[in-house]
Amino acid sequence: MLEEGYGDFEPEMWLMYYKWNLRVICNTILDYSIQVKGMGEQEVINLLENEAFQQRAEAEGKWRRATLSQVQLTSYYAGYREIYDFREQQKAKLGDDFDLKQFHEQFLSYGSAPVKFIKQLMTDK
């Protein structure tokens, strides 16, 4: 939406987007660091509060989620990245004929199917 002009390209809107992006990436780092490297609760809270600008309650909640279910936090980034990369491939392939709104509407029309199947459905036409 921001790329299409939502919010009149105001820097505050982009700051919000970049904070969200930072959160998703930190969640991935966090999940890996807990599951593989043995990161402890205080390290997690410090990372999220001081490096990812998250509130303490949110950081504590992330700690609980990451210790109760592995890979959940990482899956958000993996899904986002797969969709974003597909979108960029379509942009490169279609050039000036690429329409971001149409891409998203078509992508979402397939519901919650795995991205790899949506990609097949959108490119086999």
Q: Quick one: pLDDT at residue 59?
A: 93
What's the rounded Cα separation, in Å, for the pair 1 and 106? 16
83, pLDDT greater than 70: yes
Cut 0.85: pTM above it: no
- On the 0-12 / 13-18 / 19+ scale of CB atoms within 10 A, 58 is middle
Asked whether the beta carbons of 29 and 15 are under 8 A apart, the reply is no
Nearest to 71 by CA among 47, 43, 35: 35
* Mean pLDDT computed over every residue of the chain: 92
Asked whether the beta carbons of 4 and 103 are under 8 A apart, the reply is no
